[in-house]
Amino acid sequence: MTTPAGPFPPDGFLLIAHRGDNRNFPENTLAAFEGALAAGADMVELDVALSADGRPVVIHDDTLDRTTSGAGRVSARTLAEIEALDAGSWFSPRFSGERAPTLEAVFRRMGGRIRINVEIKKEAAKTAGPFPDVCGQVAGLIRQHGLAGSVLVSCFDDAVLADFRRIAPEIAIGVLSDRPETPGEVLGRMEAVKAASYHQNAALLTRGVVEALHPRGLRVLAWTGRRENTWEALKKALECGADGFFADDPGPMRKLLDGWREKNAGRA
């Protein structure tokens, strides 16, 4: 089995809008994804959970409390109940009425316009019920919308990724990490699921890991916590040789990235 190339350009650095442009719009909403595109992001990242009736919904938390007008577990509410909730007012009254979209709605709106990274939440993968599993549904929607070459699927759980690889050998996947790992450990995880990319916390990223993966055609993407999402973190990712960075505020990061490129091109 070969490793799918995925939505990676032959060269260049991907600026990835984390949950969309989440500094200026309510995260994981269509407004945030449109905002990310307008801000110059190369890719949007989003999170998928399952409703009580087994529909893939774009939301980060296992519960509705933080980012909607509802409460309780996402998996305990039907899609109709979730779609009736306000997912914008918590961020600003200006976004009153914004909804938590389905994955299908995001693909319809954004597919073909920007690359998309779908993170499958571990909770969604464990949701039981008389419905198709989340991996099968995500793969089916990617195929239905003809997005196999522009969508990257990631997860912190390697067992979920292995299941997705079995279901969809043609779609690129990314291994997520939030712990120190040696190059050998990283390569072992990626080889086991035929992953195209490794997504590591920028604070833990090392040049050694990047140098071990690049000769094999594998990519490295750096992410951070919200408070650490700074120019210093982006600069470290660039200096380590990473291939992308998850930005909370893609507009200013785009300008900083372009400035860094221009400065370094002038030195060459």
The terminus-to-terminus CA distance of the chain in angstroms comes to 39
Q: Which residues pair with 48 in a beta bridge?
A: 58, 120
CA–CA distance, 179 with 201 (Å, rounded to integer): 8
The span from the CA of 82 to the CA of 86, in Å, is 9
Lookup: tokens for 186: 């990283």
Length of the chain: 268
Nearest-CA neighbor of 197 among 235, 239, 151, 163? Answer: 151
Per the DSSP assignment, residues forming a β-bridge with 152 are 117, 172
- φ, ψ of residue 198 to 5 degrees: the values are -120, 125
* Catalytic residue numbers, as ranges: 18, 60
